[in-house]
């Protein structure tokens, strides 16, 4: 089945799948994974991902990073705050089985991805594509009396600008990255016209902020001199619309639950596409999954979220990042498209041991593949939320998992937690005061 799915992929996706098929010897379908204890889950992940004993030991300890590493990552360190890392199973991305680590504190996020991925395994899982690793750095020029002429002067020096950019980061250039394009805009503002130059650069497997920021800082003073203007900001844009990732999948009608469920999901999507109040929550659900993988790999969650929400407004209004439609066979097709400026080198991704281990669990060795996996997770998360909303409602699944947290907040410990959680789910009321009353009766 997976070989047939891979043959349906675009050429670039087939090449990426071939590179990783050999590394993944096991299926990401691990029935009963959520029922295993800690040691059992680690053993299963180690078998699939080929983790070292050191990596397994790090995860088994459930401890934070050292003070020395934390003190280098951020300032004024006083401690660590641990975030649970779960593993999403059942994922097939571009014909390749993947286990996906997700760092999140919210109940039902990992479970939703697992269930969604299981339901589309029969159609080959998620098919993905990307637009390439291009980032934009902006240079702001103000106080220019002739902005049209200034724009021309900058464009005329394209060759010189390319030379400066590539000389700023020769390692990146040697790896095949570097300057790719130049754009110059005239922006009307409350303070008058501004000339905004965009440096479009290929950052390869890096997220690229440091590289493009350095290029902009080198060129800002030069552009101010060429245009007789004043240069203020020299900084990347997190609206990385040259670094877009896409994912699509098909769910068979029988696996969804029939036409009524399918049509309810289509209607829920149409609501989000038309109404920004709904779209905000719709897209937040997408980011539940995306941000969890981004955080687990040591990437910048804030940059990804800012870019995603800005991209959702690119048509002039805020709308859904996903699309849903019915196939000719009557099945449900869904897709997602959003900017994902992700890297696998530099920063916390290279320094944090759990970030490196997360990449190993996913069997990811380049940024392009990571973008594809993250986009697939975002679509899976959205499908799970939309289906829940269109059927039983979000509370039944979410609060069932959340009941244990409420039980702990009420003071339950050990086996008491499961007993109280089960009672609240049966009562269909998950509240702390209810949990406290149940706990008092249980202990009495």
Domains in the chain: boundaries: 2-130+248-391, 134-236, 395-443
Contact call for residues 107 and 401 (beta carbons, < 8 A): yes
Task: Tell me what pLDDT residue 124 has.
Answer: 97
Contact call for residues 93 and 121 (beta carbons, < 8 A): no
* Residue, of 238 and 1, whose pLDDT is higher: 238
For residues 324-332, average pLDDT = 98
Confidence of residue 123 (pLDDT cuts 50, 70, 90): very high
Task: Tell me what pLDDT residue 19 has.
Answer: 40
For residues 209-224, average pLDDT = 98
Query: 94, 169, 202, 300: which is the annotated catalytic residue?
Result: 300
Provide the pairing of β-strand 332-339 with 322-326: antiparallel
Confidence of residue 428 (pLDDT cuts 50, 70, 90): confident
Helices (H), 228-300: 253-256, 259-274, 276-296
Query: How far is it between the farthest Cα atoms of the chain?
Result: 83
- Average the pLDDT over each of 57-71, 329-343, 409-423 and give the range with the smallest value: 57-71
For residues 401-412, average pLDDT = 85
Distance CA 148, CA 303 (A): 32
Annotation: CATH topology of 134-236: Alpha-Beta Plaits (3.30.70)
Tally of residues, the chain: 444
- Average the pLDDT over each of 307-321, 324-338, 381-395 and give the range with the smallest value: 381-395
Annotation: CATH topology of 2-130+248-391: 3.90.770
Task: Tell me what pLDDT residue 7 has.
Answer: 37
**Bridge partners of residue 323, in order along the sequence:** 335
Task: Tell me what pLDDT residue 399 has.
Answer: 67
Task: Tell me what pLDDT residue 395 has.
Answer: 56
Look up residue 440 and give its two tokens. 């008092």
pLDDT over 50 at 8, yes or no: no
284 catalytically annotated: yes
Distance CA 29, CA 364 (A): 18
Task: Tell me what pLDDT residue 251 has.
Answer: 98
Query: 282, 398, 402, 416: which is the annotated catalytic residue?
Result: 398
- Average the pLDDT over each of 29-33, 54-58, 100-104, 402-406 and give the range with the smallest value: 402-406
pLDDT over 60 at 16, yes or no: no
- In CATH, which of 3.40.50, 2.60.120, 3.30.1490, 1.10.8 is domain 395-443? 1.10.8
Percent of the chain clearing pLDDT 70 (strictly above): 92
- With vertex at residue 17, the alpha carbon angle to CA 14 and CA 20, rounded to the nearest 5 degrees, is 155
Identify the three-state secondary structure at position 282. helix
Task: Tell me what pLDDT residue 61 has.
Answer: 85
Task: Tell me what pLDDT residue 394 has.
Answer: 55
Query: 106, 181, 241, 331: which is the annotated catalytic residue?
Result: 106
- Average the pLDDT over each of 129-138, 296-305, 404-413 and give the range with the smallest value: 404-413
* Residue, of 63 and 407, whose pLDDT is higher: 407
Identify the three-state secondary structure at position 14. helix
Unique residue bearing structure tokens 């390749």: 96
DSSP string, 29-64: --TTGGGS-HHHHHHHHHHHHT--HHHHHHHHHT--
282 catalytically annotated: no
For residues 85-95, average pLDDT = 98
For residues 212-227, average pLDDT = 98
- With vertex at residue 124, the alpha carbon angle to CA 383 and CA 281, rounded to the nearest 5 degrees, is 15
Identify the three-state secondary structure at position 257. coil
pLDDT over 60 at 318, yes or no: yes
Instruction: Give per-residue pLDDT as tens, 246-299.
Output: 999 999 999 999 999 999 999 999 999 999 999 999 999 999 999 999 999 999
337 catalytically annotated: no
Neighbour tally for 61: CB within 10 Å: 8
Distance CA 268, CA 114 (A): 21
Query: 38, 47, 230, 284: which is the annotated catalytic residue?
Result: 284
For residues 372-387, average pLDDT = 97
For residues 19-41, average pLDDT = 78
Task: Tell me what pLDDT residue 346 has.
Answer: 85
Question: What does the mean pLDDT of the chain come to?
Answer: 91
What residues have CB less than 8 Å from 403, skipping those under 6 apart? Answer: 420, 421, 422, 424, 425, 430
């Amino acid at each position: 089945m997976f070989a047939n799915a891979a043959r349906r992929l675009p050429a670039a996706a087939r090449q990426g799948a071939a590179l990783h098929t050999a590394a993944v010897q096991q299926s990401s379908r691990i029935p009963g994974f959520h029922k295993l204890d800690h040691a059992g889950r680690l053993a299963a992940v180690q078998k699939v991902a080929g983790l070292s004993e050191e990596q397994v030991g790090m995860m088994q300890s459930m401890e934070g990073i050292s003070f020395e590493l934390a003190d280098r990552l951020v300032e004024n360190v006083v401690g660590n705050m641990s975030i649970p890392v779960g593993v999403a199973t059942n994922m097939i991305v571009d014909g390749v089985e993947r286990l996906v680590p997700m760092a999140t504190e919210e109940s039902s996020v990992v479970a939703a991805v697992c269930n969604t991925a299981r339901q589309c395994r029969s159609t080959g899982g998620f098919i993905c594509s990307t637009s390439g690793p291009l980032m934009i750095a902006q240079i702001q020029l103000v106080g220019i009396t002739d902005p049209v002429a200034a724009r021309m002067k900058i464009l005329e020096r394209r060759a010189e600008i390319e030379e400066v950019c590539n000389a700023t980061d020769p390692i990146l250039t040697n790896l095949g990255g570097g300057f790719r394009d130049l754009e110059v805009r005239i922006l009307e503002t409350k303070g008058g016209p501004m000339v905004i130059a965009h440096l479009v650069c290929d950052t390869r497997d890096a997220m690229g902020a440091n590289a493009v920021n350095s290029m902009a800082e080198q060129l800002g003073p030069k552009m101010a001199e060429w245009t007789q203007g004043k240069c203020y900001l020299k900084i990347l844009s997190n609206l990385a619309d040259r670094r877009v990732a896409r994912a699509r999948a098909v769910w068979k009608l029988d696996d969804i639950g029939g036409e009524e469920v399918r049509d309810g999901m289509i209607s829920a999507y149409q609501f989000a596409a038309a109404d920004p109040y709904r779209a905000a929550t719709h897209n937040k659900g997408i980011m539940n999954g995306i941000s969890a993988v981004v955080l687990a790999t040591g990437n910048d969650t804030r940059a990804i979220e800012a870019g995603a929400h800005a991209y959702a407004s690119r048509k002039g209004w805020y709308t859904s990042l996903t699309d849903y439609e019915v196939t000719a066979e009557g099945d449900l097709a869904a897709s997602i498209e959003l900017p994902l400026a992700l890297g696998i080198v530099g920063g916390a991704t290279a320094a944090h041991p759990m970030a490196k281990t997360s990449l190993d669990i996913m069997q990811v060795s380049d940024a392009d593949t990571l973008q594809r996996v993250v986009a697939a997770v975002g679509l899976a998360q959205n499908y799970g939320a939309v289906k829940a909303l269109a059927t039983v409602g979000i509370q039944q699944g979410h609060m069932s998992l959340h009941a244990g947290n409420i039980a702990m907040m009420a003071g339950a410990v050990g086996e008491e937690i499961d007993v109280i959680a089960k009672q609240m789910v049966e009562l269909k009321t998950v509240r702390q005061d209810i949990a406290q009353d149940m706990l008092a009766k249980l202990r009495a």
